[in-house]
Amino acid sequence: MLSESVTRAGQLAEHVDVDPDRIALVIRDFPVRINPYYLSLIRQPGDPMWRQAVPDPVELADTAGSADPLCEEARSPVPGLIHRYPDRAVFLVSDRCAMHCRFCMRKRRVGGVSRNDRIAAGIDTIRRTPDIAEVVLSGGDPLMLDDDRLARLLDQIRRINHVRLVRIHSRMPCTLPHRITDNLVHVLKAFQPIYLNTHFNHPGEITERSSAACVRLADAGIPLGCQTVLLKGVNDDPAVMRRLMRGLLAIRVRPYYLHQLDRVRGTGHFHVPVATGLQIMDALRGHLSGMGVPHYMVDLPGGGGKIPLTPNYVVDKHPGRWTIRNFEGRHFNYPV
């Protein structure tokens, strides 16, 4: 499936209605990759799946963002290991993905070459850093590694005593669910406890295939979370967001974070104001299962870390009592 991905402008124009010359300019800066499965989810020009996958000339017009707004490179003791929080580190073990999302925060990195010696250096640093109790495998997409490579990597991590948890960040259950094979699940199961956070952005991505992939992982005892990105023209609508969150719960994926998009160059057309994000959060809380309400996270520029933003429910503070509104907007006195 992966080898049949669309990676050139001419190829793309055979499948969707785009001008190959303009696309060729965009993908010089920001490469394209759409695998046949994800391509099959696109229904019409500009729909939510199209927006996530198909290069858009406006990407080149965005000069506001920076290539690395979170200063991740400054937080890396070795290339590919980001240690920003005391007890956990993100380990970038692959530079590739099953699809290149147009809004990707690691746009500068995706599409490049992967380097094996980086992995060895990362393992070494984790081994020498007893504070690291959790390793978050990310990338690119860590499930781009084949099962043998992945098993060897997990084995090396598991042998480090102070690492208690392994978390895998993979969009594969959504973008190429065929990757979630019996053998992969078998490999993962051998290295429990393993948590897997995936990434769905629109209810149209919840298909028979992706549902089966998630259920298969859940059946193996791997808790699944979802890190959705708030994206203009994709899910910046309370009704769409509610459908997505309910759909995820139904396939045994627990919504975890709703990310405010970082200001990465080439992604400005996906930007949703924080005020809109908060309105969407307001439309979730109370209106669907609390298990389906993610935390709305902003990543502070300059490496400050992720912080949750919540709609303001405290309307007024008096001595001894606060006025708090509920999800319907009614006000209540609450003794404090």
Residue set of the binding site for [4Fe-4S] cluster:
97, 101, 104
Instruction: Tell me the C-alpha to C-alpha distance, in Å, between residue 108 and each of 177, 267, 309, 313.
Output: 25, 12, 27, 39
* Residue in 33, 51, 84, 167 annotated catalytic: 84
Q: Tell the smallest beta-carbon distance from residue 174 to ligand PLP (Å).
A: 18
Q: Does 258 bind ligand PLP (CB under 6 A)?
A: no
x/- map, 106-135, ligand SF4, by CB under 6 A: x---x-------------------------
Q: Tell the smallest beta-carbon distance from residue 86 to ligand PLP (Å).
A: 10
Contacted by 104, from ligand PLP, ligand SF4, none: CB < 5 to 8 Å by type: ligand SF4
Distance CA 279, CA 310 (A): 10
Nearer to ligand PLP, 27 or 245 (CB): 245
**Binding site members:** 97, 101, 104
Distance CA 142, CA 137 (A): 6
148 annotated active-site = no
Binding ligand SF4 by CB under 6 A: which of 34, 49, 104, 176? 104
Binding ligand SF4 by CB under 6 A: which of 100, 108, 167, 265? 100
Contacted by 217, from ligand PLP, ligand SF4, none: CB < 5 to 8 Å by type: none
Distance CA 306, CA 26 (A): 30
* Residue in 33, 51, 88, 107 annotated catalytic: 88
x/- map, 135-174, ligand PLP, by CB under 6 A: -x--------------------------------------
Strand partners, 92: 138
299 annotated active-site = yes
**What are 250's two structure tokens?**
């139904």
Catalytic residues: 84-85, 88, 97, 101, 104, 106, 262, 299, 306
Binding site for ligand SF4 (CB under 6 A): 97, 100-101, 104, 106, 110, 139-141, 171
Binding site for ligand PLP (CB under 6 A): 82, 84-85, 88, 90, 136, 306
